[in-house]
Chain A
Amino acid sequence: MDSKDYKNVFVFAEQREGKIQPVAFELLGKARDLADASGEKVVAMLLGCGISGQAHRLVEMGADEVIVADCPELENYLTEEYTQVVYKMIVDNRPNIVLYGATTIGRDLAPRLAARLKTGLTADCTKLEIAEKEDGSKEFRMTRPAFGGNLMATIICPNNRPQMSTVRPGVMRKLTPEPGRKGEIRTFVPEFDRAKIKVKLLETERKGCGCKDISEAKVLVSGGRGVHDKAGFDKLQCLADVLGGQVSSSRAMVDSGIMPQACQVGQTGKTVRPDLYVACGISGAIQHLAGMEESGYIVAINKDKFAPIFSVADLGIVGDLHKIVPLLAERLKKEMAE
């Protein structure tokens, strides 16, 4: 294999129920950086049913080209069908880099493809860059947390192509849409090897949590063990309402069944980067910090002045959240009214 034959940065543009997922746009933002650093193109791969009409949105968000596969077999994500189509797109086009969202879809698809392509894959990257080596050549470096977030590791894939990584939603920044931006949209007509398809989707039930995606929120008021119970979270909700934000949670409160899993911040939950993160009664295990430490401004309220959450807080308040949070909500309500 000659790595010079492999060019361009490809993005798997994930859709669910016909809606392109925010992580696809975030990946395009990063792909744009990487492609510009090495003079390559950004190409999005869009698979679905009745999805073609949305391809231009990927162009507006940074893609130079979109390859669209639009057919009934691709309506819902299924491992083998999607693997066959993306595999063919990769083999035909020889990308240098391929990025996937680290979602339940991307983390199922990307390793399957890595094994089929016999190439490397780095999971849950938080930083991707094109670095210049001493000999002047360029190298793709992928940095990710390891050991539960205790250590960071930078990974390279020197001899195999494409170089592939998954990135968690909420980590990369999307570009501002550029309406009317020019790009090429190509249609790909898939052919399936049906003998290999052994899994059938019988039913999909939506989880009835009804909450909005916390990784999209500008303000998060987040609660941990110190919030105690549902009544405690009601206080947090009042504060979130005043600030126009949402409530999220640490793992402890999800495990104890008080908050839904969709609201969990951290290594096994979601990565969030709101402008304001108010951590209430959260001690700050490293797995939690990994999911929120990039927030714009962090306020922590905790009774224990040695709680690790204070190590990442811009403003740490040692005190009782059950007194402070309601008072703060009242005070802000007045402030906003003025």
Chain B
Amino acid sequence: MKIIVCIKQVPDTTEIKIDPVKGTLIREGVPSIMNPDDKGGLELALRMKEQYGAEVTVITMGPPQADLILREAFAMGADRAILLTDRKFAGADTLATSYALAGAIRTMEYDLIIAGRQAIDGDTAQVGPEMAEHLGLPQVSYVTDARKEGDKLIVRKESEESVQTLEVEGPCVLTVLASAFPARYMSVAGIMEAYGREVELWSADRIDVDEGRLGLKGSPTKVFQSFPKALKAPGEQFEGSAEEAVELIVRKLKEKHII
């Protein structure tokens, strides 16, 4: 079985702060990590490798520094790593990103493609399904479990109020939730070894794409402007006894006609 896992390097958004004067993101000192849902996807692939025997390839699109998460994937147990890196990919929105990934995957052999549900820097959840469409493959999103049954895949999908069990025929794209696949740690031997292994660097020439559909040029959406969120002025703050606090709350709720 051949499994491809799409991963992304993201800034740890829980560590991001806004510069209160300039109103811009302070990226300095913010660690870059493997996106949590993608790490869950890699965990699912590695579990399937243990259970059924599989070759697990990780692929990412990004700047040369994204090499780091591919080494991390090696240390967790991935067999092969590909870094799609080229200036022509820069400025891509979800459509152009998914198109480039699909262009790379189209040149490879696979039985299953796994991606994280969404990345914590964009939270769009669009790249997985868009990539599936470019490849003409079925997709199941919000996946919490997957197992083989004969030549079919039995997949559990989570929604707001239910859990569905679906049967998928042939190769497909699954997008998974990190919470369902707590990821293993890197092994010490794996870490030592990871730095000696080869990360394949692929440019736009190496993959099957129409270059006009890559990067900024191939992106239908553009950022018109970005700005820090306007926080409303904080209200009144009170510190005193519990009894006084209760009286104050009741008075305010009456004033506002809430009670």
Contacts and interface: CB of A to CB of B under 8 A. Distances in A.
B226 A114 contact: no
A317 B231 contact: no
B220 A159 contact: yes
B1 interface: no
Interface string A146-181: 111111111111111000000000000000000000
B122 A200 contact: no
B120 A104 contact: no
Interface stretch (B42-50, B65-73, B167-175): B167-175
Given A154-B223, A203-B165, A327 B242 contact: yes
Given A119-B220, A120-B220, A198-B169, A111 B235 contact: no
Interface string B48-79: 00000000000000000000000000000000
B138 A79 contact: yes
Contacts of B247: 331
A69 to B, nearest CB: 20
A199 B172 CA distance: 10
Contact of A276 (B165, B179, B234, B253): B253
A49 interface: no
Interface string B114-138: 0000001111111111111110101
A262 B184 CA distance: 27
A65 interface: no
A335 B259 contact: yes
A313 interface: yes
Given A123-B123, A151-B18, A276 B139 contact: no
B122 A319 contact: no
A190 B18 CA distance: 50
A331 B125 contact: no
Contacts of B11: 147
Interface string B1-32: 00000000001011011100000010000000
Nearest to A148: B13
B163 to A, nearest CB: 5
Contact of B161 (A207, A243, A305): A207
A124 interface: yes
Interface of B is mostly: mixed
Interface in A137-151: 141, 145-151
A206 B161 contact: yes
Interface residues of A, number: 85
Interface in B189-228: 219-228
B245 A204 contact: no
Contacts of A206: 161-162
Contact of B13 (A147, A200, A305, A319): A147
A122 B126 CA distance: 9
Contacts of A5: none
Interface of A is mostly: mixed
A219 B130 CA distance: 38
Interface string A110-135: 11101110111111100000000000
A146 B226 contact: yes
Contacts of B127: 111
Given A114-B126, A148-B121, A328-B249, A275 B258 contact: yes
Contacts of A298: 235
Nearest to B135: A115
A206 B164 CA distance: 9
Nearest to B256: A297
B246 A115 contact: no
B106 to A, nearest CB: 14
Give me the 9 closest cross-chain CB pairs, A-B, nearest first. Answer: A148-B13, A120-B220, A115-B133, A120-B221, A314-B235, A123-B124, A160-B220, A111-B129, A111-B126
Given A202-B166, A297-B258, 6 more contacts: A108-B142, A145-B123, A148-B16, A155-B221, A198-B172, A199-B166
23 contacts: A108-B139, A115-B131, A116-B133, A121-B124, A147-B16, A149-B229, A150-B16, A151-B229, A154-B223, A155-B222, A196-B136, A198-B172, A199-B166, A201-B166, A203-B165, A205-B164, A219-B258, A267-B123, A276-B258, A298-B235, A301-B245, A305-B237, A312-B232
Interface of B: 11, 13-14, 16-18, 25, 93-95, 98, 120-134, 136, 138-142, 154, 157-170, 172, 179, 219-229, 231-232, 234-240, 242-243, 245-250, 252-253, 256, 258-259
Interface of A: 16, 79-80, 103-105, 107-108, 110-112, 114-116, 118-124, 141, 145-160, 196, 198-207, 209, 219, 243, 255, 262, 267, 275-276, 285, 287, 293, 296-299, 301, 305, 310-320, 323-324, 327-328, 331-332, 335-336
